[in-house]
Amino acid sequence: MPEMMTLIGGRTSKQGTSLTHGKLDGEYLEVTSTVEMNVEDMARLGLKNGSRVKLRTPEGEAVLKCKGRETKDLPRGILFLAYGPLSSQLMAGDTAGTGMPISKNLDVEVEPVPDQAGP
Amino acid sequence: MSDNLKVVENATCTFCGCVCDDMNLTVDVDEHRITKAENACILGKAWFREHGIEQRPFALIDGHEATTEAGVEEAAQILARARFPMIYGLSDTTCEAQRVAVGLADMLGGTIDTTTSVCHGPSGIAFQGVGESTASLGELKNRADMIVFWGGNPAEAHPRLFSRYAVTPKGMYIPNGRKDRTIVLVDVRRTASTPAADIFVQVKPRSDFEVLWALRALVKGRKVDPSIERRTGVSLAVLEDLVARMKRCNYGAFLFGMGLTMNRGRHFNSAALLALATDLNQFTHWVAKPVRGHGNVTGADNVVSWQTGFPFGVNFSRGYPRFNPGEFTTVDVLARGDADAALIIASDPASNFPKPAIEHLKRIPVIVLDPKATLTSRLARVAFTTATYGINVTGTVYRMDDVALTLRPAFPSPYPSDEQVLTAIRDRVRVLLGGNRLPAGAAPIAPAVAAAS
Amino acid sequence: MGSPLRIVNGRVYDPANGVNGVVRDVCVRDGKIVDDVPPDAKRIDATGLVVMPGGVDIHCHIAGPKVNLARKVQPETHRDDVQLRTRVTRSGTGGTVPSTFATGYRYATLGYTTAMEAAVPPLGARHTLEEFHDTPVIDKGFFVLVGNNLLLYRLLQEGRLEEFRHALAWWLTVTKAYAPKLVNPGGDEMWKGQRNANITALDDKIGAFDLTPRRVIAAFIEAANALGLPHPVHIHCNNLGHTGNVETTLETMRLAEGRRAHMAHIQFHSYGAVAGKSRSNPTSRARDIAEYVNTHPNISADVGAVMFGHSTSMTADAPLAYMLYRIAGGKWVNADTENESGCGIVPFTYQDQVYTNALQWAIGLELFLLSEDPWRMVFSTDHPNGGSFMTYPRLIRLLMDSEFRKQQMAQVNQKALDHTSLRDLQGREYSLYEIAIITRAGPARLLGLTAKGHLGVGADADITLYEEDDDKEKMFAAPRYVIKDGELIVEDHEFRDDHGGRVLHVAPAYDAKIEQVIEPFFEDYYTIRFANYAVDDRYLSHHQVIPTAAPAAAATPAGAARP
């Protein structure tokens, strides 16, 4: 069963340095396709560092690699993802009349992806 | 590496909104690359290292190599034919290029928007509502003895905000630097920035507004119910301690990030913070500053504002500037499917816009100006390769605190600047339209008769 | 510069050359007024028209960092006051702080061809020049804020007066400024450094400095005179807007001791207090101010009249703006500039039934009507502080038409009028000749612009042709022709062409060694590099250096970036 969590999009220095190199290959794609997750949540879902998870919103879905963070750094139920092509897949076009789509604190369904199903 | 090296002193890094102007660049003149960027942070070092001259076509039309001139002709034809052209991007180019882009939008009767709308656009809206007490970064260096970072991660996104401007530097009235300051960090998670703070306040996601409003109440001497802790994750005691410190300091500063603007509440969050800074001025000096992202996004705000009166999301279809976020902002224009052509300057919406907006970009003719290949240039009808601002071309950029600087380029590029390409497109469009396009019905020859017939 | 032009049959008002309503031809060639042009030159028939030099605004706020913040913070004022694009001109928006294009075009459509932005922090010079680039038609310059400059304070505190003078010249030169400007000297340091305090008297100590406003003001008057600048130091006194501030203003003028000084928007500095009361409504002391200016030819002033309706207070006097915010509520912008200045912005509405507002309106009129020398008490609303420049035609009518003035006086707070002498001044009306002095010839002369404000041979061909009308507001609101640098910009009230206009600035000489004093201060206390501070010539496009009495600096200083 998928479980609901809160996804925070943001910047990292690795995303910043790699996008300067080029957005069409290599490290940038790696950095923007890795989601950070609370280690206890990961254990409960049977996930290890590098395991794949599918995130889904009403708008779309994305399959990402996960990476564990301690509870003091990232509370349970919170996910962090560097902005990039995959975070875009989850964002809706509505801006509530501001021009700004919501890219932080998105409600997402989280579902582990069996190893062989990964891209 | 060749032996033909030169050093460019006091160059400016345009990667982020800090726009540090103390770069000493070592340039390998023969290899057309920067081999060393003294004083640069990790992001700046990558920025300078990665912008050599790549072998790319001057322009691509429908994926086929073309000259810049052929690209200009095709772009001008697309724009002159369009009924709802959208011009977007502009935060990673010079003010000189931005100025031409706004003029082109005016001439076409099109719409112009910048990456501000998906960055601190909500803070711009908040500013329109409540104003702002703000300062140039040197005031933080010289005077600020309390700094509150809210909803941002400068250690990773603006590394030298800490070392050059706000946390550790010594200043006129801050002789001991870091020791003379109280640093507070408010965020929903621990980040690389957290260790820099004396006080870390972890708020529950989606509760920034409530925390800010409670602080405003406490500043004004009102009672706040202890249940605030259940809602926000922050205890009343912590809030009261913060308020006491805020009133006690000599010069306080908020530096806030997109944790407030890209979040539920958007401009209400920014406005709450700006209003809190204003309220505190009854007791002591306080300022607040949105921490801006791209190198010249602040220049884009300034240019669009002085030319139109509005900071972003401006439509010229009626013959004069109109501003309406949600209507004339790019995500909305694209997601609704309104635009019938797009001119994208130095930005890559195809890799960071919401999916419905990207889908529409794939349906319309897109013109892209960028030094690098991007997902957006890949889907463009016309893709120009342009020189990189600050590395190959000079021009003006505005730091996040509205301080304007002149760029010192390191080495020349064979590619034209954004300003040159945009000027050529504008001049060609002017010929195609016979001057500025007048909106329908603007100057009827014989109004009464024309209406009757 | 346009083809030769002869304006025939116009009634010419050219006070600088003593021409008072004489019908005569005016000839133009290569952007200048000339004696004669060939018979086949283009002719404008000015029968029934009044011919004047283009207007010169000596004090307004039209470009730069604070102006752009004021634009941004008032979108609601842009919506219903738009500037349509034409085939040849750009669009824009208005309100009391119009966009740059609207600013240039609207000044032009009032017959103004030169305007001085009155308050720019040095660090904002580059931004200001960028906005000037996009401000069409008019010539423009800016006054650079030096009265709260901490390095200059240090030099003064240490008695290094010669270096102080060189540093002042350096700042004027490297920022491409037109004149030095003082705003509430000491006030910004108190505001930023002393928990939002302010200066209250000329002998207050300025924060941590061993200085007083009195010493600062005297030093700048001295230095500006020594540099031989075309316009002397331009002073916004301490205590602006405060009840009883007239004493500060008079004392400040006395500090000049016979040397040149210009007092900005003096209306805002002419308030008395009711005797024996510590807190009271202000009263008018316009008579004392007018008398002082009338009898001291070294002093000049612009009035800074208040007009009812919307305005925007925007000032380097940050504590004043905060005081207005506490009165008006609503929005407030504050912007501190490191080592140089403060700034405050408050949208504000002057209401005819409010005692203080009516008093301010009346004092502005009193000062005009009590002035005995129109060459030294010149026209301004401190746009947009006292009111938009778009109210100038109405203000002209108030001065020229005593019947209209009487009608307007009947509609304002009468208690306020009781505290003024306005009712005693009904007999005084300005003539067209005097209007030409206070709006053109006078400001040009005070600014030291020898080629402006007149129509003598060699003058810039900046010319306005108005349709004579009994309703002076209507007459001055829409000239039929406006000529800028010899080009016909407005013809039959329509734009015929676009035009860039020039930047006017000074370049007083300084000893290059002063950079060795300034640079270390930058390393310690600025966040931009010294080498990146000086504004280079590429920001000027069309420009003109107005000479100083002392020899001007030969070249762009060594610190300037040369892209």
Residue C528 CB contacts under 8 Å (≥ 6 apart), including other chains: B21, B138, B403, B405, C123, C522
What pLDDT does A102 receive?
A: 85
- Tell me: the pLDDT tens digits for C47-79? 999 999 999 999 999 999 999 999 999 999 999
- Residue, of C467 and A117, whose pLDDT is higher: C467
The subunits that touch chain C, with at least 3 C-beta pairs less than 8 Å apart, are B
- Tell me: the pLDDT tens digits for C375-424? 999 999 999 999 999 999 999 999 999 999 999 999 999 999 999 999 99
DSSP class per residue in C373-413: -TTTEE---TTTTSS-GGGHHHHHHHHH-HHHHHHHHHTS-
Domains in chain A with CATH codes: 3-117 (2.40.40.20)
Total of domains in chain C: 1
- Tell me: the pLDDT tens digits for C164-204? 999 999 999 999 999 999 999 999 999 999 999 999 999 99
Strand C11-14 and strand B322-323: pairing? Answer: unpaired
Angle at B335 between CA B333 and CA B341, to 5 degrees: 55
User: Could you give the CA distance from residue C188 to residue C319 in angstroms, rounded to a whole number?
Assistant: 7
Question: What Cα–Cα distance (Å) separates residue C163 from each residue in B81, C174, C215, C535?
Answer: 62, 16, 16, 21
Q: Testing the interface with B: which of A37, A79, A98 to mutate, by most B Cβ within 10 A? A: A98
Residues of chain B found within 8 Å of residue C193, distances taken between Cβ atoms: 143, 173, 250-251
Looking at domain B121-290, its CATH superfamily turns out to be Dimethylsulfoxide Reductase, domain 2 (3.40.228.10)
What pLDDT does C1 receive?
A: 53
Residues of chain B found within 8 Å of residue C332, distances taken between Cβ atoms: 131, 133, 278
What pLDDT does B446 receive?
A: 39
Could you say which of 3.40.50.2300, 1.20.1560.10, 3.40.50.300, 3.40.50.740 is the CATH number of the domain covering B57-119+295-433?
3.40.50.740
Question: What Cα–Cα distance (Å) separates residue A65 from each residue in A29, A59, A108?
Answer: 11, 20, 15
What pLDDT does B447 receive?
A: 38
A116 part of contact set with chain B, CB < 8 Å:
no
A72 part of contact set with chain B, CB < 8 Å:
yes
Say whether C163 sits in a helix, a strand or coil: helix
Structure tokens of C205? Answer: 């100590």
In a domain, C527, yes or no: no
Say whether C107 sits in a helix, a strand or coil: helix
In a domain, C322, yes or no: yes
**Residue in this structure with the two tokens 């990232």, named with its chain if needed:** A74
Segment 215-254 of chain B within 8 Å of chain A by CB: none
State phi, psi for C120 to the nearest 5 degrees: -130, 125
B325–A97 C-beta distance less than 8 A = yes
Residues of chain B found within 8 Å of residue C538, distances taken between Cβ atoms: 406
> DSSP state, B66?
E
> DSSP state, B396?
E
What pLDDT does B442 receive?
A: 58
Structure tokens of B418? Answer: 């954004």
State phi, psi for A11 to the nearest 5 degrees: -105, 155
Instruction: Name the residue of chain A whose CA is nearest to B208's CA.
Output: A105
Q: Testing the interface with B: which of A8, A69, A100 to mutate, by most B Cβ within 10 A? A: A100
Say whether B447 sits in a helix, a strand or coil: helix
Q: Where are the alpha helices (DSSP H) in chain A?
A: 13-21, 27-31, 39-45, 85-89
Segment 474-533 of chain C within 8 Å of chain B by CB: 524-529, 531-532
DSSP class per residue in C121-160: -GGGHHHHHHHHHTS-SSEEEEEEE-TT-HHHHHHHHTT-
Q: Give ipTM to 2 decimals.
A: 0.96
Q: Which amino acid, one-letter code, is at B95?
A: C
CA distance A113 to chain B (A): 22
User: Could you give the CA distance from residue C49 to residue B135 in angstroms, rounded to a whole number?
Assistant: 50
Question: What Cα–Cα distance (Å) separates residue C291 from each residue in B6, B165, C269, C446?
Answer: 65, 51, 14, 19
Q: Which amino acid, one-letter code, is at A113?
A: V
In a domain, C123, yes or no: yes
DSSP class per residue in C238-260: TTTT-TTTHHHHHHHHHTTTTS-
User: Could you give the CA distance from residue C229 to residue C220 in angstroms, rounded to a whole number?
Assistant: 12
In a domain, C112, yes or no: yes
Residues of chain B found within 8 Å of residue C124, distances taken between Cβ atoms: 402, 404
What is the residue-level pLDDT of chain B in tens, covering all 453 positions?
Answer: 788 999 999 999 999 999 999 999 999 999 999 999 999 999 999 999 998 888 899 999 999 999 999 999 999 999 999 999 999 999 999 999 999 999 999 999 999 999 999 989 999 999 999 999 999 999 999 999 999 999 999 999 999 999 999 999 999 999 999 999 999 999 999 999 999 999 999 999 999 999 999 999 999 999 999 999 999 999 999 999 999 999 999 999 999 999 999 888 999 999 999 999 999 999 999 999 999 988 999 999 999 999 999 999 999 999 999 999 999 999 999 999 999 999 999 999 999 999 999 999 999 999 999 999 999 999 999 999 999 999 999 999 999 999 999 999 999 999 999 999 999 999 999 999 999 999 876 554 433 333 333
Nearest to B287 among C65, C322, C336 (CB): C336
Count of C-beta atoms within a 10 Å radius of residue C75: 21
Element (H, E) at C108: helix C100-109
E-assigned strands of C285-343?
299-302, 309-315, 332-336
User: Could you give the CA distance from residue C274 to residue C280 in angstroms, rounded to a whole number?
Assistant: 6
Nearest to C331 among B130, B172, B323 (CB): B130
A97–B326 C-beta distance less than 8 A = yes
Say whether C534 sits in a helix, a strand or coil: coil
Compute the mean pLDDT over every residue in chain C, rounded to the nearest whole number. 95
* Chains B and A, touching by 3 or more CB pairs within 8 angstroms: yes
What pLDDT does B450 receive?
A: 35
Structure tokens of B410? Answer: 């390191």
Angle at B422 between CA B111 and CA B296, to 5 degrees: 75
User: Could you give the CA distance from residue C363 to residue C370 in angstroms, rounded to a whole number?
Assistant: 10
- Tell me: the pLDDT tens digits for C521-562? 999 999 999 999 999 999 998 999 999 985 444 444 443 333
In a domain, C396, yes or no: yes
In a domain, C21, yes or no: no
Q: What is the pLDDT confidence band of residue C448, given thresholds at 50, 70 and 90?
A: very high
In a domain, C196, yes or no: yes
- The domain ranges of chain B are 5-48, 57-119+295-433, 121-290
In a domain, C536, yes or no: no
> Does the pLDDT value for residue A21 go beyond 90?
no
The residue-averaged pLDDT of C87-96 equals 96
Question: What Cα–Cα distance (Å) separates residue B324 from each residue in B115, B313, C78, C83?
Answer: 15, 6, 12, 18
CA distance B442 to chain A (A): 29
Nearest to B355 among A60, A95, A99 (CB): A60
Q: Which has the closest alpha carbon to B291: B415, B163, B176, B159?
A: B159
Residue C242's domain comprises 56-452
Q: Which has the closest alpha carbon to B219: B239, B198, B199?
A: B239
State phi, psi for C179 to the nearest 5 degrees: -155, 155
* Chains C and A, touching by 3 or more CB pairs within 8 angstroms: no
What pLDDT does C549 receive?
A: 87
Question: What Cα–Cα distance (Å) separates residue C160 from each residue in A27, C152, C202, C299, C310?
Answer: 58, 10, 21, 27, 45
Which domain CATH number covers C328? 3.20.20
What pLDDT does B33 receive?
A: 94
What pLDDT does A26 receive?
A: 80
